Amino acid sequence: MAADAQPVGVALEVNGEPVRVEVPPDEPLADTLRGRLGLTATKIGCGVGACGICTVLVDGEPMSGCLLPTVLAAGRAVVTVEGLADRAPALTAALHEAFEAEGGYQCGICTPGQLTAAVALLERNPRPSEQEVRAHLAGNLCRCTGYAGIVRAVRAAAAETDGASRPVAVARGEEAASS
């Protein structure tokens, strides 16, 4: 931050809760989540948008938290890996089980980003092909697993939860609308 830059007040939603933070104008969202809000499950790797380790959902879309300035998240809904179970309970549980069963992680540093990106994919496409999983996760690098276990895990979770992968808020809204 430039020496004369003043902190900026930013209001956003994080894991379903309204949050207000005072941040330097150039502070990345990943730093705000980890350093100011204590949400340290989001990891930081390259810091320049190349590895996907810092992936969070912003209005349902996977984004690199190391690239997005927090000021640009104002008014938006952010979900971190800590909030996935509330957003998509069955899907998140199935992904956790499948990553373990299929060898989807080793050191685990990339896993929060992989899980977050996988939730975004399966909410949109409940039964992705292997190629679709690989394409969607292409920006989430893993230097341990060779990717095969991750791809198997995402497809296994998809098979386990077919039709149950919509965000809870969306499902609730549809139920309310049809009743």
Q: List contacts with ligand FES (CB under 6 A).
A: 44-47, 49-54, 64, 66, 105-111, 142-145
CB of 135 vs ligand FES, minimal distance in Å: 17
| Integer Cα distance of 94 and 109 in angstroms | 20
User: Of 126, 154, 123, nearest to 138 (Cα)?
Assistant: 154
- Minimum separation from the CB atom of position 40 to ligand FES (A): 14
Minimum CB separation of residue 153 from ligand FES in Å reads 11
Nearer to ligand FES, 52 or 83 (CB): 52
CB nearer to ligand FES: pick between 10 and 31: 31
Number of helical (H) and strand (E) elements in the chain, helices listed first: 7, 5
Instruction: For residue 66, give the DSSP letter.
Output: T
Q: Shortest distance, CB of residue 138 to ligand FES, whole angstroms?
A: 13
For residues 106 and 167, which CB has a smaller minimum distance to ligand FES in the complex?
A: 106
Contacts of 34 (CB under 8 A, 6+ apart): 40, 42, 44
Cα–Cα nearest to 54, from 68, 43, 70, 69: 43
Q: Tell me how far, at minimum, the Cβ of 44 lies from ligand FES, in Å.
A: 5
Taking the least distance from each CB to ligand FES, the nearer of 111 and 166 is: 111
- 142 vs 151, beta carbon nearer ligand FES: 142
Write down the residue that tokens 């095969």 correspond to. Answer: 148
Rounded to the nearest 10 degrees, the angle between the axes of helix 111-124 and helix 89-101 is: 130
Token pair 């199935």: residue: 94
